[in-house]
Amino acid sequence: MRRKRVNGDSLVFHFSGHCSKVPDNDKDEADGFDETLCPIDYETEGMIIDDEINDTIARPIPKGAMLHAITDSYYSGTILDLPFVCKMSREGYHIWEEQICSSDTYKGTSGGLALCFSACNDNQTSVDSTALSGNASTGALTYSFIQAVENEPGLTYGRLLNAMRQAIRGAKTGGLRLIGPIAALINRALFNTELTQEPQLSSSEKFDIYSKQFLL
């Protein structure tokens, strides 16, 4: 990631670990907090804030190059500080929303495309769980991402995002579908309800996620 990026590069950044939040001092966050990565030496060297992550791995991406970031951690919805986040509309379709803040700081790239799949939104936590794999404890985002890509070659970004969300929702209830208020109480009491996270997709630019094929 440190070498000069060139046209045709396809880069991947993966982080599975701890994230946190700190107060936003430069007024470029709508919620007033910078999200941070916590590397193994963060107690002595400090956390890495999203402004620095954007500046280091997203902004230098040149025209014709692409970056995919996969961040499986708490509060990671906008960890790359990219300008557009995919949200669900009232009609049930994913649409792009621009991240509005009071700062004029540029958060895009140098002409290329930067994308980030993150484990949850900025106000959610994420977990390691056996609910998806059935035996080993895995990060919910990482496991559901790998399964979707392996099981459905050629899927679109929209299909990938939906597949991950459906897998995590299914893990919460063990795949069981009960109807009625009493059944809902039983579901909450007896079945795995720890996976409350919603995987997120953010991008340096808008595109049609239902037609664009996912490619690394």
When the candidates are 3.30.365.10, 3.90.226.10, 3.40.50.620, 3.40.50.12660, the CATH number that belongs to 10-203 is 3.40.50.12660
How many angstroms separate the CA atoms of 197 and 70, rounded? 15
Tell me the CB-side half-sphere exposure of residue 199, using CA atoms within 13 A: 28
pLDDT at 59: 94
Confidence of residue 14 (pLDDT cuts 50, 70, 90): very high
Q: What is the mean pLDDT of residues 130-154?
A: 83
Mean pLDDT of 20-36: 82
Structure tokens, 22: 């700190």
Q: Which of 40-44, 103-107, 135-139, 140-144 has the lowest mean pLDDT?
A: 135-139
pLDDT of residue 213: 97
Is the Cα torsion angle 6, 145, 126, 211 positive or negative in sign?
Answer: positive
Q: Where are the beta strands (DSSP E) in the chain?
A: 10-16, 18-23, 33-38, 48-49, 66-72, 84-88, 94-98, 113-118, 128-129, 138-139, 200-203
In percent, how much of the chain has pLDDT > 70? 81
| Per-domain residue ranges of the chain | 10-203
Q: Is the Cβ–Cβ distance between 114 and 63 less than 8 Å?
A: no
- Read off the tokens for 82: 């990219």
State the Cα–Cα distance between residues 41 and 58, nearest whole angstrom. 23
Residue 68: its pLDDT value, please? 98
More confident residue, 130 or 205: 205
What pLDDT score was predicted for residue 7? 83
pLDDT tens across 71-129, in order?
Answer: 998 888 889 999 999 988 888 889 999 986 666 778 899 999 999 999 888 777 776 66
